[in-house]
Amino acid sequence: MMISAKTQMVGIIGYPVKHSLSPAMHNAEFRELGLDYVYLAWEVAGTALGDAVRGLQSLGAVGFNVTVPYKQAVVTHLDSLAEEAKLIGAVNTVRFEDGRAMGYNTDADGWREDIESEISLRGAIVCIIGAGGAARAVAVGACQGGAAGVVVCNRRRETAEALCELLRHFFPHVDVRCSSLCGDACRELVRSAEIVVNATPVGMASKGGTPVPAQWLLPKHFVYDTIYAPAETELLREARERGCRVRNGIGMLVRQGAKAFELWTGVKPDPARMEKAVRAALAH
């Protein structure tokens, strides 16, 4: 596909961002669907975030994705937030609409759709390890998916408490519990769940390790790791060896991307094809 004077622009803002798989995923799908769009990656310093948002708007970009560390910081530079972004307190997708910068969060739906392709959330107890941006999206996705209970275990207990407060406020029918990341109480909460989700960076290629001791896992657990590189984290390997069903975060990446794609273009992409493009980019 040729870039021309009419090509529409989208992309991703983050720091760092040069490792992002989103350009490969979106550009491949634009080509497949014959859409005259291009997706770029912009590494933006914290002090320049507001200028970057206003600059993209002035240049006529359709919108952009937001990744670490700006999912929360970008909110102050937007005109309005969709319900889900308000609830999660973070934005991963922006669309410029009639001169206004509108913030969305597609991570919760992306995660929910992906895990529900394997296991129903309805009536389940979901244990989330972590309480940052990804964990907030997973927690909201779990509640929206009909989970009976959500357990939040985080290194800093006060962050877990804050997330639990929010969940209790918006989803009063869900049994919400929280804990720090160690000790017998945490072990018993993990063991009370059917689904365990790692929403921390522990296990990423450079970091290794597991966010909770692998001995805490039981064969009944469905273990989901939001990490997708490496494809099998230490947590997923240990879980698989203990007889658990496991899934990594590629599907979440693809489905949150597919929702952003549709918000920008109005066209439904093919998630299976987008996943193929992600896997090809990962293999390079």
Per-residue mark of binding to ligand NAP, 194-213 (x: CB under 6 A): -----xxxx-x------x--
Distance, in Å, from the CA atom of 4 to the CA atom of 267, rounded to the nearest integer, reads: 21
Cβ pair 196, 171 in contact under 8 A:
no
Nearer to ligand NAP, 57 or 63 (CB): 63
For residue 90, the minimal CB distance to ligand NAP (Å) is: 8
HEC sequence for the chain: CCCCCCCEEEEEEECCCCCCCHHHHHHHHHHHHCCCEEEEEEECCHHHHHHHHHHHHHHCCCEEEECCCCCCHHHHHCCEECHHHHHHCCCCEEEEECCEEEEECCHHHHHHHHHHCCCCCCCCEEEEECCCHHHHHHHHHHHHCCCCEEEEECCCHHHHHHHHHHHHHHCCCCEEEEECCCCHHHHHHHHHCCEEEECCCCCCCCCCCCCCCHHHCCCCCEEEECCCCCCCCHHHHHHHHCCCEEECCHHHHHHHHHHHHHHHHCCCCCHHHHHHHHHHHHHC
Q: Which one of the spans 5-13, 45-53, 119-127, 251-259 is the region binding ligand NAP (CB under 6 A)?
A: 251-259
Q: Is 271 in the site for ligand NAP (CB under 6 A)?
A: no
Nearer to ligand NAP, 57 or 259 (CB): 259
Interface residue with ligand NAP among 23, 130, 145, 269 (CB under 6 A) is 130
Interface residue with ligand NAP among 21, 81, 252, 274 (CB under 6 A) is 252
Q: Is 107 in the site for ligand NAP (CB under 6 A)?
A: yes
For residue 223, what are the β-bridge partners? 196, 246
Per-residue mark of binding to ligand NAP, 146-185 (x: CB under 6 A): --------xxx--x---------------------x----
Distance, in Å, from the CA atom of 227 to the CA atom of 34, rounded to the nearest integer, reads: 31
Q: Is 256 in the site for ligand NAP (CB under 6 A)?
A: yes
Q: Which residues are catalytic?
A: 71
For residue 262, the minimal CB distance to ligand NAP (Å) is: 16
Nearer to ligand NAP, 93 or 200 (CB): 200
For residue 72, the minimal CB distance to ligand NAP (Å) is: 8
Q: Which residue is nearest to ligand NAP (CB)?
A: 132
Nearer to ligand NAP, 57 or 65 (CB): 65
For residue 100, the minimal CB distance to ligand NAP (Å) is: 25
Chain contacts with ligand NAP (rule: CB under 6 A): 68, 107, 130-135, 154-156, 159, 181, 199-202, 204, 211, 226-228, 249, 252-253, 256
